[in-house]
Structure 1
Amino acid sequence: MTEMLTQLLRPRQGPTTAELVQEPGRFGLGRVPSRVAPVATARSVCGFCATGCGLKVHLGPVGNALNLSPDSAYPVNLGMACPKGWEALAPLAATDRATTPLLRDPASGELRPTDWSTALNTFAARMKAVQEKHGKHSISFLSTGQIPTEEMALLGALFKFGMGGLHADSNTRQCMATAATAYKQAFGFDAPPYTYADFEESDVLVFMGANPAIAHPIMWQRVMRNPHDPRIVVIDPRRTETAMAATDHYAVAPKGDLWLLYGVTHELITRGWIDRDFVDAHTTGFAELSTFIADYSPERCATESGISAKRIRELATMIHRGKAVSFWWTMGVNQGHQSTRLTHALINLALLTGNIGRPGTGANSITGQCNAMGSRLFGNTTSLLGGRDFANPQHRADVAHLLAIPEEVIPSEPSLAYDQIIDGIESGTIRGLWVIATNPAHSWIHQGRFAALREKLDFLVVQDMYATTETARIADLVLPAAGWGEKDGTFVNSERRIGVTRKVTRAPGQALADFSIFKLIAEAWGCGAMFEAWSSPEATFKLLARLSADQPCDFSGITDYPFLQDAGGIQWPYPASSDRVAPPANTALNRLAPARPTATADVYQERRLFNDGRFFTPDQRARLLFEAPAPAPESPDESFPFWLNTGRGSSAQWHTGTRTDKSPVLRKLAPKRVYVEINPDDAAQLGIHNAEPVTIRSRRASITATAAVTPTVAPGQVFMPMHFAGVNQLTYAAFDPHSRQPSYKACAVSVGRT
């Protein structure tokens, strides 16, 4: 460990201009005046959201980043970038970066700087002490969707195979667990079927619980490029920015969304507006669904959904008449008490009408975090590496063989989910917690509960770019980590495209890449030899490529980072043995993206799944799944008369603002204070005026916000952006029974003048 640590922390000489031109991503960056002309460019995938845009980082003569610009040759964003992408370098220069390990002094109770050797030995000694006292499964980690796939895989393998841990999850549980669960149940694998070109090929696009104009601006720009004059349908209780630009807005009642989709399904089936040939050949469960849906007439569903029977029939007609219909959703669907079945209702509509596997079609989840898909497949938390099943003996044997490790170190039991880990802290079964690149003291539902449980932990470690997050401030040990742009790796975006993120600057002080920290912890723990082959991020990528072989996510045909980067990213599957063909000449990608070399045209093709009607289930048929709507766990009443909805408030904010708040530009673009949107009629009745302070109360907490009086929310509803501290003090901790994803989107509150 000492030798490895010395090498990682050794100062290095600056690169020459020649070295920069040849390998710009290897070298760290300093600060120079912006008037200096760039001499080289490093290409990297953005580290904010799962759109996965390509960026060009322009480097000065001593390897310093001067600025960046969107990559016009990258097939995702085609030369566009949102405000976060333009400002991606700013968070790296923040003054509150964690630059040295911090250890809490038992005498003063304060976090004090320490050296890496002490920090690593303390980590190993105290985590082992927790295991010896409370059992080997009494330690846990909560990770992220923001670090590269190689780091996620090493973390999960280290924790479960090397440290003997079991219970681990990531903050993708907060955003994508529902989509992953629904895809697995319906398709047999966590497999979003689409490509971004489908935004431009559809003649009907249905967005449910999604506001891409704000949350995924580059995806919305792809929609705006659609040449087919499409019908754009938005299903959302709030009149979002996307709804304002749509052709049709269905202002569904809070938690009335499943009723609406069942009413549409009833209309399609009873009128015979389904692709019966496709249904019979490629699905199971149609007879059962037909019997179930008979009770969900548009008239009955109108009462519960808040949408008239006439409009329900109009939506069914639109779907029936569309030649290429695509269904899109994100957090407004995923974050609900019955979210998995709501997702299945969307998947059912695509399957029933044969709108899958063809250009412009699909049941398409829009992912949140930049590498949530990498986490879902390789985080080694809810699934074994490569989307395998921990409970499957053959899967465990395959992984053990590929990694040359004893099969018995691979657990066969499932991990607790995020909320169950929190419950385990409360019950005393989880006593040591390691938090990596996430901030649960701010972001977890019913926020106050996490802080209250802190005292029940024997040892809390936070590994992060910043020592100032709410979670880092209550830690026993803080490990300073490098951020995006300070390390190499790969991300997997919403359309399954694997892209390279490059090191274009050195991390400040003694901060290290998470990959290096995990390697050092393995050495300190005494299991370093198990991860000898995981020598670098690129070596690990090659290992993961071999692990992916013969899985639905097979990308064993990708040889190395340069191959991947030259390709502009590659969608899985890309198996080594595939018969590859050039993309059709009339696709939207080829119309809009720059010309590609003919010799490697197979690399750039759009990889739309299920075009052959074969799914990843044992019988290769998709499952039509359903369940009766259940009432919301908490509804408005006389004391708390409003529905509270939460979501993204600005394209210049990201999650809890840990990084976006570091950019002066983004701070100017985003709202500065927490606000609550309230309908003018409700505001008038309560005597509330625009821009004045109000108090929002739930059964759990009370916070103050600025009133934003606006008709974008319906009477009886209020909306608050999720980015601000305090909002999640109000939310109610209900969870979908299948995905264990929390229901951030509906709780009861009162609003009054302060």
Structure 2
Amino acid sequence: MSIIDQSKLSSLIHQKEGHLTRELLLSPGGFGLGKVPEKNLPDATTQMVCGFCGTGCNLNIHLKNGEGVCISPTTEYPVNLGMACPKGWEALSVLDSPDRAVSPLVKKSPNHWEPVDWDSALSLFTSKFKAIQEKHGDESVAFLSTGQMVTEEMAFLGALAKFGMGMVHGDGNTRQCMASAVTAYKQSFGFDAPPFTYQDLEESDVLVFVGANPCIAHPIMWERVMRNPHSPQIVVVDPRKTETAMQSTLHLQIAPKSDMPLFYGIAQLLIQKGYVDADYVREHTEDFDDFKAHVRDYPLERITTETDVSQEKIEQLVELIHTGKRVSFWWTMGVNQSYQGVRTAQAIINLALMTGNIGRPGTGPNSITGQCNAMGSRLFSNTTNLLGGHDFLNDRHRAKVADILDIPVDRIPAENSLPYHKIMEGILAGKIKGLWVICTNPAHSWINQGQARDILDRLDFLVVQDMYHTTETARHADLILPAAGWGEKEGTFINAERRIGRVKRIKRAPGQALSDFSIFKLIAQYWGCGEMFSQWSSPAEVFQLMKKLSAGQACDFSGIEDYTAIEEQGGIQWPFAASETEPPQQQRRLFEDGRYFHENGRARFVFSEPTRMPEAPSEQYPFVLLTGRGTASQWHTQTRTRNSDVLRKLYPNRIYVEINPEDAQKHSVQPNDLIFVESQRGRLKARAFITQSVQPGQLFIPMHYEETNQLTDAVFDPHSSQPSYKCCAVRIINE
């Protein structure tokens, strides 16, 4: 990335822009480059939700002259109860990075971008995308969204791209983390509905964590487990001896991707022993008899062979599920990021249903969300479903949305978008020529990185809209649009337990950077569809539209009056319909009445045969590569965490690979040796960390390092289209 000339940039910031651009930038709606009016400045301390993970902690932002200068966790907020992880403590510092994008940048030659004003940037944006559409059709352009923006911005982006600009295809990076859980919930319950509240972590007497390492990935949730007064049994199902497994009372160290047959075998044992809640199954579920017949093929002998777990441990877990009064099941990326993630998640859901462990305190099949606003993305990004959890294929849903938004119904696509990997394949096939990437980093995070980067370079025009101009994806961009980050804009997030929380502007974005909301408003004007979005005057007004869109849906939150109500009540979990007369309780779970969202009100047992690992170890590539979170101080592609001096000191700067001592001895690897790890797709060099945490024949590399996805294999769950990041065949080579 070329160094921006500061004198030129200063001139650009202060020069006069076109009348339309200037009017929008300085309008009262909050898009302005100008100073926040004194009357709008908050008090010395204000509160808002953290912008890193889906836990949704609340933070006190301490202000000086109206701007945030330091942070402390909010003690009374029902999520974090006065706790914060290292990322939360450092949330402000990453805003003051020299890597911030402070002006629109246009590529002039390879590895060289030059600053331009907003008028030039948006004129280029619209002319390029319109030219591609005119030549190749509306399906020749697409967008990739995020679980990192506020919900109001996600809704604006999805509506602008699909209703205003005529794009058919757009997906989000939540496809990489939550798609399998979303699909599992939809098929089993009738709606994407995580049933739990965080209080359940303190109410359970048996907690089963599957492919989840909350000690590292969600440390505040783990703190809630540590507050549990019931001396709970903590079970971990994971190939690695993770930090969470080290704290467990029972660790089932399974063979990679053998979790689905494990749970089918456990279901068979529960049935054999008479440990099924027959009343609950009869009154609230369907298809149990078919499921019962299916799991007969999973006797204990088969399960011990396929999972490498002893009969004793499997039977011990079965007894814990039976004797536990409040059993909860928790899973995250170890389940979701799989070629059979949906059915594995449903194997967990089935265990909760057949034992009646749902709808009561301390129970539930509970998916742990990754990104800060993945739930907002799932409901309102206008990608995998129509705004508010509606269906693009449903005539009635399209008419409802068109009426609320006051737009012609024929502007709403009557077909679903291509999923993320099909968009990438469309670029490779030459069918998609233009791509708009907003607040995400696929050149780092997408599976089979070498191919992903080659695909991005094949585009006629790539726009990257981000708060940093140095992301791996920005290195491929033709146009970079500088966006405000968390703390520099207004809106809401929805966390893993369905709690809607506030985000506030407590700091001015640097240079010419604008909130994503402001950028979308400008693009609508430049595109010529600004009148369609006249109701979308501010995030607060869009929140009111979102309320209307949610009405009558499972996620109905039409009863929330406004942003002030959210703050006063410590966040509000959906559903909370306008028909409810009493203020909502702070901790609420779904399905307390045993009614689900299918038309008949029943939950479904969904199952199928496990499939073979797509790329199993071989003589040439004898190791299985596992990936996952490295430390509590790293986050995703490190776009933000590497911009904190404090956080960088809390995790290894250089990429490392965990290897079992038995394998290290066999391959003459010493501690801290530099070795090559190679798959059929790429090779990386990493420092060896010899540890019993991984089993023989397995390696582990944290996902946060740029090189990791050079190795991973581009295979996908057939139901959710989620990438399978967690297993591929690799070998090691001594340097």
Query: What corresponds to 1:745 in structure 2?
Result: 726
Instruction: Tell whether 2:73 aligns with 1:70.
Output: yes
Please point out which of 711, 715, 728 is paired with 2:692: 711
8 A contact 2:151–2:492 mirrored in 1: yes
Partner of 1:192: 194
* Alignment match, 1:169: 171
Of 610, 624, 639 in structure 2, the residue corresponding to residue 629 of structure 1 is: 610
The offset of 1:727, in angstroms, is 0.4
- Check 1:389–1:135 CA distance in 2 against 1; reply closer, same or farther (3 A cut): same
Match of 2:55 among 40, 51, 54: 51
- Partner in structure 2 of residue 620 of structure 1: 601
Q: 2:92 aligns with which of 89, 100, 109?
A: 89
Matches of 2:249 and 2:23 in 1, distance apart? 59
- CA–CA separation in structure 2 for the residues paired with 1:210 and 1:750: 26
Note if contact 2:156-2:520 (Cα within 8 Å) is conserved in structure 1. Answer: yes
Question: Following TM superposition, by how much is the alpha carbon of 1:752 offset from its aligned partner in structure 2, in angstroms?
Answer: 2.5
- 1:184 and 1:271 map into 2 onto residues whose CA distance is 30
Query: What is the rounded CA distance, in whole Å, between the counterparts of 2:328 and 2:81 in structure 1?
Result: 22
Distance 1:116 1:162 in 2: 20
Aligned counterpart, 2:434: 432
Structure 1 residues 271 and 519: alpha-carbon distance in aligned structure 2, compared to 1, 3 A threshold: same
Map of 2:5 onto structure 1:
none
Any idea what the Cα deviations from partners look like across 1:433-476, whole Å, max 9, x if unmatched?
00000010010000111111233211100000011011111101
Whether the 8 Å contact between 1:15 and 1:63 is mirrored in structure 2 is: no
Partner of residue 102 from structure 2, selected from 99, 103, 118: 99
Displacement of 1:6 after TM fit? Answer: 4.4
Given that residues 283 and 621 in structure 1 are in contact (C-alpha distance below 8 angstroms), is that contact kept between their aligned partners in structure 2?
yes
What amino acid does structure 1 have at the position aligned with 2:694?
A: V
Structure 2 CA distance for aligned equivalents of residues 560 and 428 of structure 1: 45
Q: Alpha carbons of 1:269 and 1:693: their partners in 2 closer, same or farther (altered >3 Å)? A: same
Whether 2:537 is the aligned partner of 1:535: answer yes
**Residue correspondence of structure 1 range 517-536 to structure 2 within 5 A:** 517-536=519-538
- For the 8 Å contact 1:641–1:716, the answer to whether it is kept is yes
Once the 2 structures are TM-superposed, how far is the Cα of residue 658 of structure 1 from its aligned partner? 0.4
SS at match of 1:326: strand
Aligned counterparts of 1:367 and 1:254: Cα–Cα separation in 2: 22
| 2:505 match: secondary structure | coil
1:464 and 1:263 map into 2 onto residues whose CA distance is 46
Aligned partner of 2:275 in structure 1 is 273
Summarize deviations over 1:355-401 as a string: whole Å, max 9, x none: 00000000000000000000000000000011011001000011011
2-side partners of 1:43 and 1:455: how far apart? Answer: 42
Q: In structure 1, which of residues 370, 382, 387 is the aligned counterpart of residue 384 of structure 2?
A: 382
1:332 aligns with 334
- Contact 2:69/2:92 (<8 A) preserved: no
What's the counterpart of residue 155 of structure 1?
157
Alignment-derived partner of residue 42 in structure 1: 46
C-alpha deviation, 1:3, in angstroms = 4.1
Task: Output the amino acid matched with 2:257.
Answer: K
Residue matched to 2:243: 241
Where do residues 178-257 of structure 1 align in structure 2 (5 Å cutoff)? 178-257=180-259
Q: What is the SS of the residue equivalent to 2:297?
A: coil
Q: Using the alignment, how far apart are the partners of 1:474 and 1:13 within structure 2? A: 33
- Runs of at least 4 residues of structure 1 off by over 6 A? none
Compared with structure 1, are the counterparts of its residues 11 and 302 closer, same or farther at alpha carbon in structure 2 (3 Å cutoff)? closer
Q: Which amino acid aligns with 1:47?
A: G
Counterpart of 2:194, as a letter, is P
Superposition RMSD in Å: 1.2
In the aligned structure 1, how far is the partner of 2:399 from the partner of 2:32? 40
Q: TM-score, normalised by structure 2?
A: 0.96
Kindly provide the CA deviation profile for residues 132-179 of structure 1, in whole angstroms up to 9, marking residues without a partner as x. Answer: 111111100011100000000000000110011111001000000000
User: What is the distance in 2 between the residues matched to 1:725 and 1:614?
Assistant: 45
SS of residue paired to 2:598:
coil
Paired residue for 2:23? 4
CA contact (8 A) 1:4 1:520 kept: no
Which residue in 2 is equivalent to 1:505?
Answer: 507
Give the Cα–Cα distance (whole angstroms) in 2 for the partners of residues 414 and 282 of structure 1.
Answer: 31
By how many angstroms is 1:520 displaced? 0.4
CA distance in 2, matches of 1:686, 1:740: 37
**1: CA distance between counterparts of 2:586 and 2:276?**
30
SS at match of 1:238: coil
| Amino acid aligned to 1:4 | E
Compared CA separation, residues 273 and 579, structure 1 to 2 (3 A): farther
Structure 1 residue 15 displacement after superposition = 5.6
* Alignment partner, residue 83 of structure 2: 80
Change (3 A) 1:489 1:271: same
Q: Please tell me whether the aligned partners of residues 573 and 607 of structure 1 are also in contact (alpha carbons under 8 angstroms).
A: no
Q: CA deviation at 1:225?
A: 0.4
SS for the counterpart of 1:375 is: helix
- Shift in Å at residue 604 of structure 1? 3.6
Report the equivalent of 2:10.
none
* Aligned match for 2:352, one of 330, 335, 350: 350
**Aligned mate of 2:148, from 146, 149, 153:** 146
Q: After TM superposition, give the deviation of residue 308 of structure 1 in Å.
A: 2.0
CA offset at residue 579 of structure 1?
4.7
Q: What are the within-5 Å matches in structure 2 for residues 305-344 of structure 1?
A: 305-344=307-346
How far apart are 1:605 and its partner, in Å? 3.2
Alignment partners' CA distance in 1, 2:617 and 2:275 = 38
Q: State the alpha-carbon separation in 2 of the partners of residues 129 and 14 from structure 1.
A: 38
Equivalent residue, structure 2, for 1:545: 547
Aligned residue for 1:30? none
Q: Secondary structure at the match of 1:55?
A: strand
Q: Deviations over 1:15-45 (max 9, x none)?
A: 65xx47xx41xxxxxxxxxxxxxx6112110
One-letter amino acid of the structure 2 residue matched with residue 677 of structure 1: E
| 8 A contact 1:568–1:604 mirrored in 2 | no
| Structure 2 match to 1:487 | 489
Q: Which moved more, 1:62-71 or 1:614-623?
A: 62-71
1:656 equivalenced with 2:637 (yes/no): yes
Q: Deviations over 1:225-271 (max 9, x none)?
A: 00001100000000000000011110000111111111101101122
SS at match of 2:26: helix
Asked if 2 retains the 8 angstrom alpha-carbon contact of 1:446 and 1:700, the reply is: yes
When residues 641 and 733 of structure 1 are mapped into structure 2, their CA distance, relative to the original with a 3 A threshold, is: same
Residue identity opposite 2:342 in structure 1: T
Query: Aligned residue for 1:670?
Result: 651
- Separation of aligned partners in 1, 2:404 and 2:22: 28
Moved more, 604-613 or 720-729: 604-613
- Distance in 1 between residues matched to 2:210 and 2:456, nearest whole Å: 37
The match for 1:639 is 620
With over 3 angstroms needed to count, the CA separation of the structure-2 counterparts of 1:262 and 1:477, relative to structure 1, is same
Question: How many percent of aligned residue pairs carry the same amino acid?
Answer: 59
1:13-32 matches, cutoff 5 A = 13=35, 16=38, 19=39, 23-24=41-42
Q: Which residue of the partner structure matches residue 680 of structure 2?
A: 699
Deviation for aligned residue 1:5: 3.9
Aligned residues: 713
Cα contact 1:533–1:539 (8 A) shared by 2: yes
CA contact (8 A) 1:143 1:170 kept: yes
Output the CA distance in 1 between the equivalents of 2:23 and 2:371.
Answer: 31
Distance 2:111 2:201 in 1: 54
Distance 2:233 2:315 in 1: 15
TM-score when normalising by structure 1: 0.93
The answer for the alignment partner of 2:412 in structure 1 is 410
How far did residue 66 of structure 1 move? Answer: 2.2
Tell me the CA shift for residue 694 of structure 1: 0.7
Which amino acid counterpart does residue 106 of structure 2 have in structure 1? L
Task: State whether residues 33 and 512 of structure 2, in contact with CA within 8 Å, keep that contact through their aligned partners in structure 1.
Answer: no
SS in 2 for 1:603: coil
1:505-525, Cα deviation, whole Å (9 max, x unpaired) = 000000000000001000010
Q: Deviations over 1:550-573 (max 9, x none)?
A: 110000011111111111100000
The letter of the residue matching 1:415 is: S
Q: Distance in 2 between matches of 1:529 and 1:14?
A: 26
